[in-house]
Every structure is written in structure tokens, then in C-alpha cells.
Structure 1
Amino acid sequence: MKYHHIAVFVSDAEESLKLYRDILEFKVVADAIIPDRPEGNFFDQKTLDDIFKVEGAKSRLVLLAPPEGDGTFLEFQQPIHPPVQRKPKETLRYAHTGISELGFEVTNIDQWFEKIQNAGYETQTDYIWETGGIVRSFLFYDPDGNMVQLCENLVDPKEVFA
């Protein structure tokens, strides 16, 4: 089994694209208001209503591929009906159930740290930290407060976790 996609519900797809497309360099492979046609392309109305548990469901779906695509996608959903609701900030941190962060592998972590800070995104620490000589990393928050972690491997993970 391997990852197919990770879905992130966003309050404003355009704001999220400024980070994921423009800064992190993901490529938009699809951008549609769903349901997009009566017979469906991504979703027909009945299926979307069943998934969202509301009659007349409607959402903006944006599918992104990482710059070095491996077949895994990042999916944004910006619900229109029912309207999206932001989670309280404190529930987007550690100590709550659910997916707490998106982690991406990068090279040249120092340049990424500078790029994220210069773009105005809040970082969790004002420095890059190292974990056991294995990885250098930092966390920052996307426009909806979700934690994003960028990691640069210092050694081949296969050697450490074999």
C-alpha cells in the first residue's frame, strides 16, 4: 500500500495556493467546483451529498502534485455548501487527535526556512532544529493554521530505520 492523496479542508483555496503552489511549488493538476456536471466528472450530486451528508453539497476541489511527483497528491476542499468552518486554533496543535501536520522532504532546508519566513508565514520556532543527527527540520503554519513541517534528511532514512 502507498499514499494516494491527502485531503486538507481550507477556508480559502486562493490563499492556500499562494503557499502550496507559489512558495512550495506544487503543480495544480485539477481545479473544479464539484459536482461539476450532472453526470459527474469528479463527483455527481448524489455521491457528493452522501459524502458531505447534506443535500445540495458543493465544494471547490483543487488537486496538486508535488514538484518531484511520486504519484501522491495533495487535495484541497473548500466547502461551499455546507459552508466551511475553521477549527479552533488550539485544536490544530499537538495534543489533539487527527492529522496534526503535513511533512515534506526538501533539500537545502536553510533556503526553505528563509523563503517561508520572508513570505510572512509564522514558524513554530525561530530556528531550524535537528533530530538525533537524522533530520533538520522546522514547522510553520499555513493560512488555515495547519502545521506544515519541512525536513531535510542528514542520512538515508533506510539506513536508520531498517
Structure 2
Amino acid sequence: MPLAHHVGLTVSDRTDSLKFYRDILDFEVVNELSFEGGAFGTAVGVPDASAEFSVLDAGEFRLELIEYQDPISHAEHPRLNQPGTNHLGITVEDLDAFLANVPSNVPQLSEPQVTPTGNCIVFLRDPDGNLIELLER
């Protein structure tokens, strides 16, 4: 059976994104890399691509924050009911306590909600509008 290795998010500014994922979500930076052209450009389907990566330890998987040198324009923030929309789910021990430490400028889709399965969830947006689900079991 294949095993999940990492989730990659293309971001507009790694510094801003690190403030969110490292400083707010407490993920640890484990590596910083850069790739350009050649096999990398071929693999991502962007000839002459150049990108900087921050690899973070997110517990059960790695999170790659990828900033391309020449990105295309930023798409409109996705909604959860749009096909192709993704979100990153993160388990926290105490959702209310965790949210108390999230800066007020971090967009939150609603107040925490209890689902029919008994989990308490809330969705946030990172600096690029990526959806982050915080979940307390």
C-alpha cells in the first residue's frame, strides 16, 4: 500500500507562510531547498521553473511550502464545495485553547462547529487562501 509522504502548497511568499505554519501551527522547519530548470522543470511541467522550498515536519507527514520565482497570477480563493479544492486537516488537542493563540488577522470561515461524528472543527485560511481544517476529536 502506498504511504503518504508530503503535502505541497504553492505559496506567494514563504516568509509570510512560515509565520503561519511554523509560528502559529508550530510545524518545525526541517529543510530548505531550491530547484531550477532541468528535471525539476520537466517534472512540474513548467520549463525553466525555479522554486524555493521550505520542508516542515507536520507530525505524520511533511509539508512543503513552495515559492516559484515567476508564479502565474493568484487564483480566487477556493470554496470547499468547488471540485479540485483541497484542504489540509490538522488535529489539535484543545481547539478553543489553540484558537485563542491564533492572531485575529487569520481568516476563519466560522466559529467552531461540532460535526455529527462528535468532532469539533473550524476552517482557517493561510496567507494565500489555502484552507486549513483544525479538528479536535
Structure 2 vs 1, CA of residues 124 and 151 (structure 1 numbering), >3 Å: closer, same or farther? same
Q: Within 2, Cα distance between the matches of 1:128 and 1:95?
A: 19
Q: Within 2, Cα distance between the matches of 1:77 and 1:97?
A: 22
TM-score, normalising length: structure 2: 0.90
Mapping of residues 116-155 of structure 1, within 5 Å: 116=102, 118-125=103-110, 127-153=111-137
1:113 partnered with 2:132: no
Runs of 4+ in 1 over 4 A off after TM superposition: none
- What is the CA distance between 1:65 and its match in structure 2? 0.4
Letter in 1 for 2:53: L
Of 44, 50, 55, 1:58 maps to 50
Q: Within 1, Cα distance between the matches of 2:117 and 2:45?
A: 47
1:7 partnered with 2:16: no
Q: Within 2, Cα distance between the matches of 1:119 and 1:128?
A: 15
Of 66, 73, 76, 1:85 maps to 73
TM-score, normalising length: structure 1: 0.77
| CA radius of gyration, larger in | 1
Mapping of residues 16-35 of structure 1, within 5 Å: 16-35=17-36
Identify unmatched segments of 5+ residues in structure 2: none
Helix, strand or coil at the partner of 1:14? helix
Identify unmatched segments of 5+ residues in structure 1: 36-44, 154-162
- What is the CA distance between 1:120 and its match in structure 2? 1.9
Contact 1:142–1:148 (Cα < 8 Å) also in 2: yes
Match of 1:156 in 2: none
- What is the CA distance between 1:108 and its match in structure 2? 0.7
Match of 2:88 in 1: 102
Letter in 1 for 2:101: K
- What is the CA distance between 1:119 and its match in structure 2? 4.6
Contact 2:123–2:134 (Cα < 8 Å) also in 1: yes
Helix, strand or coil at the partner of 1:21? helix
